Chain A
């Protein structure tokens, strides 16, 4: 039975060793909590290290779960920077008083509509809501002028959406701000009455449109490009932007904030780096998102940001999700 004791002792020693190792990391390194996946942004972080010499340590996870993690960590949060996939999560952290105010010279690089009103976070790349459609079933001329028209009976059995998905919920919040609760409720009920199929996320919707399970889906614009890259141009789905300043044309942002517990002085430099021409070109070229700093063109496959006629929505209000969740519950979608 000595063997069992030895085994237990080995486990404890190894655990202790493992415990000391990573904790004693260099304090100079910058700790980033990234709600954006490694496959998208790791090369960008490497470029930051290459150009500044500052080491970065990155925790990758889901945007909302990392926000919850920072909230639970309280005053002992190791995070210096929070890099989120949507404005709502940044708003929630700012609302909880967990983000530091950024200096004006950083904020001013981005249009006011893509940053926090009190300067606690700044958008770094734009993501447009679009309708993805199956090119074998539909021509773009057949698509309506407003997202409102999808509630008409002719779209019965043809729509996919993701009521549980964060970017869809942000979009519904925007609709509420634009249309009011009543009209949004009627629209939701109309889409529901059309037998819209509920998917888990944008990726699943684009896949389903490509497979012909559905004809159209409400998604963010860049998911399509991952499919085009993997399956080639024959993949039978494309994005559709509404022609007018429609509620369907919301442009949300992925953004960044400095956590209130940040110790690394380099946190601000990282935010500046994300707004540098190099990083902005990376978003245009690699993730097919819209650069938000003026003078950097969008990917040639996309209509320019200035041409998308976005409705007047304050992204600062997108964290007001409780009301949206309530509406989605009342309409039986959640």
Chain B
């Protein structure tokens, strides 16, 4: 087996690899998808054009700069924390003899099933100034007040805890695809396991860390629910305020365009990685990785997954269960309603399928073909993801009601909205999976007389299957939790679990919100099971 060992500090660049021009059967659908994703930006430009000169003082005010700074700091802190949690957790649960590793593999991704506003509520209940922890500490040691949770610490903690699984799933997919022979060669050459991880494995994981990290940063930019519950003013707060306070859609559009500009900058910076080879050269099948023995660190290493699961899974489950009991005690009628559950599952499934189908041509283009168009298409897809849901929803209200009236307020438009919002979630895993597939396999299929189109269908897409399942799983989970677009664009009378939770919680009927919240979490957890069963993580024991 021919294996190229990366040089220390750098990975072999694929210099001189010739890449053909993109064929129309790929770029036409990709351009259509990009056009769809750019609808919100088009809407913002239309609206911003209608702004009067009063928008300038708003745009240039110190507060606008402060909010922008808040948003940047939050995004950077959340992404750094998410990566710091996800990389060790991925390695521990996938590559080592951690006790109960397969159980921790499931548990450590579960925080993803909680909507961030539910997570924020759970953290406030537990760790707030007069929360459960304070009550306990008060009884024990008479502690009067905990350090302030509200503001930056709360927003940072909530978003880190409930979004790090995006990085975790991505990195685990990366670990599964790395040829262990590369790492083993490094060991043979005398590097310690730690040095091997740092010099070989980590650089190979970069696209996966980058893809997951980008999702987390942009999620932090666009989040409103958790951030506002934690009373942290980010740029999204300013945008919501324009809608809620003054109905001034032009001002809101101008502010939103600032967020678009910030997104472009972040996506550009993330995309500056050089063209690097992440796939094996030579034999098509990899050996199974060897399980790392943790030795005396085996039990202490449990502290990290245990702490994360306690805060990100047990805590919100306990809070929901508490409200369930309170509700039952005060005679709240618990109606286990089936239609919202079915609606949520159905819409999320359609969104997952459509989004993966839409992301596939963009992913293939951006990984396999050179040139400004493929690169630009992949980056454009982030446009909708970093915008607050209300902005994307109103954009589709605008275009839907005016130019696609028969589709307006139908399931079709709602699912389309989900695609616009969540395309990057599908794109990340798909691109990552394609990066690990050697173009040599496609080239040999061409040599054997297949057309470019046949190769894509019969070689490329099947090889990206694992990435496609991961992509569909992510989009499914996120769609289950989505609220602003669902509220404004769903067919009238179409109710989802997230809508039920929202409706009850806004009236402080937490006990009534508990049942739909529990169903939402359970349904998401089950789908997570399907997702994880496809991960195909295996290793050999020595």
Complex CA distance for A276 and B458, rounded to whole angstroms: 67
A-side contacts of B541, CB under 8 Å: none
- Residue of A15, A66, A67, A319 with highest tally of chain B CB at under 10 A: A15
Is A15 a contact partner of B415 (Cβ separation < 8 A)?
yes
Given contacts A18-B410, A39-B503, contact A198 B231 (CB under 8 A): yes
B-side contacts of A103, CB under 8 Å: none
B-side contacts of A325, CB under 8 Å: 241, 245-246
Given contacts A22-B493, A213-B130, A322-B246, contact A60 B401 (CB under 8 A): no
Is B506 a contact partner of A207 (Cβ separation < 8 A)?
no
Interface membership of A50, Cβ < 8 A: no
Using a CB-CB cutoff of 8 Å, which residues 1-42 of chain A contact chain B?
1, 4, 7-8, 10-11, 14-16, 18-23, 25, 31, 37-40
Is A204 a contact partner of B229 (Cβ separation < 8 A)?
yes
Which segment of B195-203, B432-440, B509-517, B524-532 sits at the interface? B509-517
Complex CA distance for A223 and B504, rounded to whole angstroms: 13
Is A65 a contact partner of B504 (Cβ separation < 8 A)?
no
Interface membership of B258, Cβ < 8 A: no
Complex CA distance for A87 and B54, rounded to whole angstroms: 24
Using a CB-CB cutoff of 8 Å, which residues 300-334 of chain A contact chain B?
319, 321-322, 324-325, 329, 332, 334
Using a CB-CB cutoff of 8 Å, which residues 486-542 of chain B contact chain A?
487-488, 491-494, 499, 503-504, 506-512
Is B397 a contact partner of A73 (Cβ separation < 8 A)?
yes
Interface membership of B129, Cβ < 8 A: yes
Complex CA distance for A102 and B455, rounded to whole angstroms: 66
Interface membership of B34, Cβ < 8 A: no
Q: Mark B391-417, 1 if CB is under 8 A from A, else 0.
A: 000100110011001111111110100
Complex CA distance for A101 and B415, rounded to whole angstroms: 37
Is B247 a contact partner of A203 (Cβ separation < 8 A)?
no
Interface membership of A58, Cβ < 8 A: yes
Nearest CB in chain B: distance from A325 CB, A: 5
Complex CA distance for A96 and B316, rounded to whole angstroms: 44
Given contacts A69-B397, A89-B247, contact A200 B231 (CB under 8 A): yes
Interface membership of A206, Cβ < 8 A: yes
Is A8 a contact partner of B484 (Cβ separation < 8 A)?
no
Interface membership of B128, Cβ < 8 A: yes
Nearest CB in chain B: distance from A188 CB, A: 15
Given contacts A21-B411, A206-B508, A332-B63, contact A62 B244 (CB under 8 A): yes
Contacting residue for B327 out of A7, A15, A203, A230, CB 8 A: A230
A-side contacts of B390, CB under 8 Å: 65
Complex CA distance for A232 and B173, rounded to whole angstroms: 50
Using a CB-CB cutoff of 8 Å, which residues 182-232 of chain A contact chain B?
197-201, 203-204, 206-207, 211-213, 223, 226-227, 229-232
Interface membership of A125, Cβ < 8 A: no
Nearest CB in chain B: distance from A75 CB, A: 8
Complex CA distance for A76 and B404, rounded to whole angstroms: 10
Is B409 a contact partner of A78 (Cβ separation < 8 A)?
yes
Is B357 a contact partner of A59 (Cβ separation < 8 A)?
no
Q: Mark A162-200, 1 if CB is under 8 A from B, else 0.
A: 001010010000000000000000000000000001111
Is B492 a contact partner of A58 (Cβ separation < 8 A)?
yes
Interface membership of A285, Cβ < 8 A: no
Given contacts A25-B492, A39-B512, A69-B394, contact A76 B415 (CB under 8 A): no
Interface membership of A61, Cβ < 8 A: yes
Interface membership of B354, Cβ < 8 A: yes
B-side contacts of A223, CB under 8 Å: 508
Nearest CB in chain A: distance from B266 CB, A: 26
Complex CA distance for A164 and B237, rounded to whole angstroms: 9
Interface size on B, residues (CB 8 A): 67
Given contacts A11-B353, A230-B330, contact A19 B410 (CB under 8 A): yes
Is B507 a contact partner of A39 (Cβ separation < 8 A)?
yes
Contacting residue for B510 out of A14, A62, A230, CB 8 A: A230
Is A68 a contact partner of B458 (Cβ separation < 8 A)?
no
Interface membership of B368, Cβ < 8 A: no
Interface membership of B61, Cβ < 8 A: yes
Report, as a range, how many residues of chain A touch the other chain: 35 or more
Interface membership of A107, Cβ < 8 A: no
A-side contacts of B405, CB under 8 Å: 76
Is B488 a contact partner of A69 (Cβ separation < 8 A)?
yes
A-side contacts of B240, CB under 8 Å: 164
Given contacts A64-B247, A230-B330, contact A57 B492 (CB under 8 A): yes
Interface membership of B350, Cβ < 8 A: yes
Using a CB-CB cutoff of 8 Å, which residues 218-240 of chain B contact chain A?
228-229, 231, 237-238, 240
Complex CA distance for A10 and B405, rounded to whole angstroms: 23
Interface membership of B461, Cβ < 8 A: yes
Interface membership of B248, Cβ < 8 A: yes
Is B245 a contact partner of A321 (Cβ separation < 8 A)?
yes
Complex CA distance for A334 and B67, rounded to whole angstroms: 10
Is B415 a contact partner of A334 (Cβ separation < 8 A)?
no
Is B243 a contact partner of A68 (Cβ separation < 8 A)?
yes
B-side contacts of A16, CB under 8 Å: 412
Interface membership of B279, Cβ < 8 A: no
Query: B468: nearest residue on chain A (CB-CB)?
Result: A4
Q: Mark B459-485, 1 if CB is under 8 A from A, else 0.
A: 001100000000000000000000010
Contacting residue for B499 out of A25, A60, A64, A334, CB 8 A: A60
Complex CA distance for A59 and B408, rounded to whole angstroms: 13
Is A199 a contact partner of B508 (Cβ separation < 8 A)?
no
Complex CA distance for A89 and B249, rounded to whole angstroms: 13
Given contacts A14-B350, A22-B410, A230-B326, contact A65 B243 (CB under 8 A): yes
- Residue of A1, A57, A197, A319 with highest tally of chain B CB at under 10 A: A1
Interface membership of A92, Cβ < 8 A: yes
Given contacts A62-B244, A65-B390, A230-B330, contact A22 B492 (CB under 8 A): yes
Interface membership of B457, Cβ < 8 A: yes
B-side contacts of A211, CB under 8 Å: 128, 130
Is B492 a contact partner of A64 (Cβ separation < 8 A)?
no
Is B247 a contact partner of A68 (Cβ separation < 8 A)?
yes
Interface membership of A77, Cβ < 8 A: yes
Is A229 a contact partner of B330 (Cβ separation < 8 A)?
yes
A-side contacts of B504, CB under 8 Å: 37, 39
Is B509 a contact partner of A230 (Cβ separation < 8 A)?
yes
A-side contacts of B398, CB under 8 Å: 72-73
Complex CA distance for A321 and B54, rounded to whole angstroms: 14
Nearest CB in chain A: distance from B396 CB, A: 9
B-side contacts of A72, CB under 8 Å: 249, 394, 397-398, 401
Extra A-B contacts (8), CB below 8 Å, given A71-B247, A73-B398: A22-B493, A59-B488, A64-B245, A65-B244, A65-B394, A65-B487, A73-B397, A334-B63
**Sample (16) of A-B pairs whose CB atoms are under 8 Å apart:** A4-B461, A19-B410, A19-B411, A21-B491, A31-B492, A37-B507, A39-B504, A57-B493, A64-B243, A65-B243, A65-B484, A71-B247, A72-B398, A76-B402, A164-B237, A204-B229
- What 10 pairs between A and B have smallest CB-CB spacing? A18-B411, A22-B491, A19-B412, A1-B457, A73-B401, A64-B244, A57-B492, A19-B410, A92-B247, A226-B508
